[in-house]
Amino acid sequence: MISVQNLSKVYRMGEHEVHALSDVSLTIEPGDFVAIMGPSGSGKSTLMQILGLLDTPSSGSYKLYGREVAGLSDDELAILRREKIGFIFQQFHLLSRMTARENVVLPLFYSQRLEQSGPQGDRLLKMVNLSSHESHRPNEMSGGQQQRVAIARALVNEPTIIFADEPTGNLDSKSEHEIIEILRSLNSSGITVIMVTHEDEIGRQAKRLIRMRDGKVQSDTRLTPIEPTTAPVTPDKTTPGTSSLSATLGLHLVQAMRTLIGNKVRSALSVLGILIGVAAVVAMLALGRGAQVAIESQLSSLGSNLLVLRSGPSRMGGVAMDSTVRYGLDPDDGDAIKREVGGLRDVAPNVSGRAQVDFKNRNWSTQVLATTPSYESMRAATPIIGRFFTEAENRSRSRVALLGATVVRELFGRDSPIGEMVRLNRIAFQVIGILPEKGASGWRDQDDTIVIPLATGMYRLFGKQEVDSIDIEMLDSAQAETIQEDILMLMKQRHRVPATSTDEAFSVNNMADIQKAMSQSSQTLSLLLAAIAAISLLVGGIGIMNIMLVSVTERTREIGLRKAIGAQRIDILYQFLTESLVISLVGGTAGVVLGVSATMLLQTTTGWTMQVSLSSIALAFGFSASIGVIFGLYPARKASYLNPITALRHD
């Protein structure tokens, strides 16, 4: 069954070489009970670990069931370990977070026989006489009890060989006796037992006694003949495990949750990192998207048929203007354009500025727009209550005003302002209407405004001789270019701009162009905001990686044990990946919740337009999940590549 030829193991420690095993050759038949004895450092453990497939020899051949082990891959060895071999350690190596029962059935998880957990757990706990302790954790059990749990665990996949390396080395003599009895009865049921021991008395109870010294077999005595066993010599278990994928994943998840809950503060901190990142991404994207939507809706409410005529070049840098002659626009320009340029619906010259508005003892600073009656239809400004001013009122510079909803609320509260007299920069105006509500756009309140007749504004309020700009509405935006040219021609002619002048005396901007430029810049803004938020997500991810690396180092022995009982690389990989995924998904979910609530809170307190889009939630969530995978992968891989015996020796 076991056949080794010229087996050697050399440990290299820097310059120094330790020949732990030199030229060991032996065969072991099924059903045997072998005791290996010898002084400390004689290579007993090394031999056991190689025979138990936890370690590989430096040279020589090892055939298990006639199969050369040297060429097998890490995963093939793992499968052999869990199907054929049970290993019992001097230090028990139980997982401290798990109960006795969970420790016993753990190998079934890796052999995908989860469905046998119930019956096998019952049977083996009963066999080692620990049924009453099934829900105790290792630190709630005596050494002897822990070792019995470890034996039950070694048996759960029904191995054909049991290796026990000084199984009673840490135990009192009563427990020692119990353990040996269990091993003897296992042997009589047909399982091959190979055991290292210090005690002569125990050694004599075996069927064969091998003494080692300095890495060599010194003597090999048969004490009792091997009885022909009833058990099949090679009970080749070819029934592969049949655990369903969901059960396996579920158990990975349960284990990950336990580990994370076991390290509450640490897990909470790494969740927090992701949480803040995701919340920031969601809120920032909402803010950016909101600004964009607001700008777009504001501009589209103006319509793409709108042109704006201004004096001076379309570059709005103030510096360049000083050197050129300024040609001011006047209200008559508006009339002239309306009269002489074809394809127009309406024209509205306007001036604007800030003013202090008083009513009784309340006052408020607001934006005042002076314009012509055409504004009402061009900007959809038909009053909800009251009326717009007339051309006659404009011409006679009447002191009448229309208030935006915010101004009404600030000055009048719930009372009706119609007919009341308010003072604009100390000049009395009669309120004749309330403007329709337009809502906030980005961070600007469009309802914080007052509209008055153009002439009143120019001559009485602002004392301006020129208009700031002239809004022009076209019938059809397709004609925009010719209309723009016509307007510029007319203006140059009216203001006698010399034909030789190369300066741009006037400029006409198309709303569609402005719209495009604005939405582009707001898009850039949202990207920038999201990028900043993404950086915090990245930092959160690095946090996860850090925690996982610590966790891998800290749990090196656990990883070694899991591999020793048959976990393949992929199992270890999944274990750590699940943990980091859980962290980032919990953080992601909480982050989305926080981000959305922060958005709503900001929106109600500041009045900014914000818009949480489903895609931004999906993005943040996907991003955090991938951060879990990406930053979890490296530590997980690192863990999965550990050699079982090096990992077990780690302290």
Cβ closest to Mg ion, residue 20 vs residue 193: 20
Q: Which is nearer to ligand ADP, 44 or 569 (CB)?
A: 44
23 or 134: CB nearest ligand ADP: 23
CB 314 within 8 A of CB 504: yes
Nearer to Mg ion, 45 or 168 (CB): 45
> CB under 5 to 8 A by kind: which of ligand ADP, Mg ion, none does 342 bind?
none
Q: Which of 42/616 has CB closer to Mg ion?
A: 42
How long is the chain?
A: 651
As measured in angstroms, the least distance from the Cβ of 643 to Mg ion is 18
The nearest distance, CB 36 to Mg ion, in angstroms, is 10
Nearer to ligand ADP, 45 or 371 (CB): 45
Kindly state the tokens that stand for 44: 């007993």
Query: Residue 219 CB, nearest distance to ligand ADP (Å)?
Result: 15
644: nearest Cα among 81, 196, 36: 81
For residue 360, the one-letter residue type is: K
Q: Which is nearer to Mg ion, 409 or 557 (CB)?
A: 557
Among Mg ion, ligand ADP, none, what does residue 120 contact (CB within 5–8 Å per kind)? none
Q: Which residues bind ligand ADP (CB under 6 A)?
A: 11, 13, 18, 20, 38, 40-46
| Rounded CA separation 359/409 (Å) | 12
CA dihedral 141, 146, 149, 154 (to 10 degrees): 160
Shorter beta-carbon distance to ligand ADP: residue 42 or 259: 42
Residue 637 Cβ vs ligand ADP, minimum distance, rounded to whole Å: 23
Binding partner of residue 40 among ligand ADP, Mg ion, none, CB cut-off 5 to 8 Å per kind: ligand ADP
DSSP state of 467: B
Contact positions vs Mg ion (CB under 5 A): 45
| DSSP assignment of 23-76 | EEEEEE-TT-EEEEE--TTSSHHHHHHHHTTSS--SEEEEEETTEE-TT--HHH
Residue number, nearest CB to ligand ADP: 45
What's the min distance (Å) between Cβ of 57 and Mg ion? 17
3-state secondary structure 313-345: CCCCCHHHHCCCCCCCECHHHHHHHHHHCCCEE
Cα–Cα distance, 22 to 478 (Å, whole number) = 94
b/e code 433-452 from CB counts within 10 Å (16+ = b): bbbeebebbbebbbbbbbbb
DSSP secondary structure string, 64-129? ETTEE-TT--HHHHHHHHHHHEEEE-TT----TTS-HHHHHHHHHHHTT-GGGHHHHHHHHHHHTT
Q: Which residues pair with 452 in a beta bridge?
A: 370
Least gap, CB of 16 to Mg ion (angstroms):
19
Closest CA to 107 of 136, 84, 137: 84
Work out how close the CB of 100 gets to ligand ADP at its nearest, in angstroms, rounded to a whole number.
28
In contact, 59 and 8? CB cutoff 8 Å: yes
DSSP state of 610: -
Handedness of CA 249, 253, 259, 265 (dihedral sign): positive
| Nearer to Mg ion among residue 45 and residue 456 (C-beta) | 45
Shortest Å, Cβ 162 to ligand ADP: 17
Nearest distance from C-beta of residue 198 to ligand ADP, angstroms: 9
